Amino acid sequence: MSGEAAEPPRRRRRSSTAELGQSSTVMLPAMTLRIGDHVQAALAAGSAVVALESTIITHGLPRPHNVEVARQAEDQVRAAGAVPATVGVLDGQAVVGLTPAEVERLGCDDAAVKCSIRDLATAVVRRQSGGTTVAATAYLAHQAGITVFPTGGLGGVHRGAASTFDESADLVALSALPVVMVSAGVKSILDTGATLERLETLNVTVLGYQTDAFPGFYIADSGFPVPARADDPAEIAATARARDALGISSAVLVTRPVPTEHQLDPALHDRVLTEALAAAEQQGVHGHDVTPFLLDYFHTATQGASEATNVQIYLGNVALGAEIAKALTA
């Protein structure tokens, strides 16, 4: 054996993304995340930008109402002096700032999938198109540098979760993303009390906008109080700035109740909810199929009144989101 030191074993060099694409049977898109030119320009200028979800386009509303409402939401943001950034997935590419043509295309796509955070990677590899959920929209908005994101109703803890462990990924996203989200509380088909407990555990700041009651989505008052109240967008923006200054990485959830003139009749709501839960149990509906089943049951049983309320909730939250975004950039 010679006296020379043995050559250390060579570390295997990690392949670059380009090399992986060349050697793999699956070619990834050149960019897995695209930020629209108008969004990039607004962010660079320090303008107010509002992220908008797309599951309301792909899975939430019927055609052609889905695209009409998406356009209304963007128009509301612009009218308030902010820039809309509708988020979605097109042909395996996540997009923050869909063009009007892309919004319409997504709204007419029968094959569009529902993308939560866990589904984004597979959608990219399979080159799928899809609508982004609350969780995925918040995640992609944060990646793009957008803070404010309004939605209709937040996902939460499902009824019976003590045995099923069925809990929306929205809550986990809110615990890890320093966004400001506007919603009408959680969908009333969920366990509101348990959801509020989880939000507390996950360190999510919950504010009631001009209310002391936690909203119940289709109805203005869920019967539960909010931990804190904020009466104007400037106060909400100040809360978000204080969170950031403290180094807290979770969301500020702003809950805005549906105006009482637009809410479902509470007695009708309670009756239909009871019927819908019984029907889901009888038909063996479980997991991610529960929410669309119950919402569809509401739509049928209320003869479309729940859909009209849903749209009023969403557009009102979008308007508030635009005002908060402006306050954050003031």
Three-state secondary-structure class, residue 83: strand
SS3 56: helix
Q: Give 140-164 pLDDT, tens digit per residue.
A: 999 999 999 999 999 888 777 777 7
Q: Which of 257, 248, 109 is nearest to 174 (CA)?
A: 248
Nearest to 94, CA basis, from 47, 39, 45: 39
Q: What is the pLDDT of residue 52?
A: 98
Q: What residues are labeled active site?
A: 53, 187
pLDDT of res. 41: 98
Q: Could you tell me if 150 and 49 are in contact, meaning their C-beta atoms sit under 8 angstroms apart?
A: no
Distance in angstroms (rounded) separating the CA atoms of residues 95 and 109:
16
What is the pTM for the complete model shown?
0.89
What span, in angstroms and rounded, lies between the C-alpha atoms of 36 and 263? 35
Q: Catalogue all structural domains in the chain, each as residue range(s) with its CATH number.
A: 29-146 (3.40.1790.10), 148-330 (3.40.1790.10)
How far apart are alpha carbons 25 and 16 in whole angstroms? 15
- Strands 213-216, 219-225: pairing is antiparallel
Per-residue tens of pLDDT for the chain, all 330 residues: 444 444 444 443 433 333 333 333 455 566 789 999 999 999 999 999 999 999 999 998 999 999 999 999 999 999 999 999 999 999 999 999 999 999 999 999 999 999 999 999 999 999 999 999 999 999 999 999 999 999 999 988 877 777 777 788 999 999 999 999 999 999 888 899 999 999 999 999 999 999 999 999 999 999 999 999 999 999 999 999 999 999 999 999 999 999 999 999 999 999 999 999 999 989 998 776 777 788 899 999 999 999 999 999 999 999 999 999 999 999
Helical segments of the chain, H only = 17-23, 37-44, 55, 65-79, 100-107, 117-125, 134-144, 161-164, 169-176, 192-201, 233-245, 266-282, 290-301, 305-329
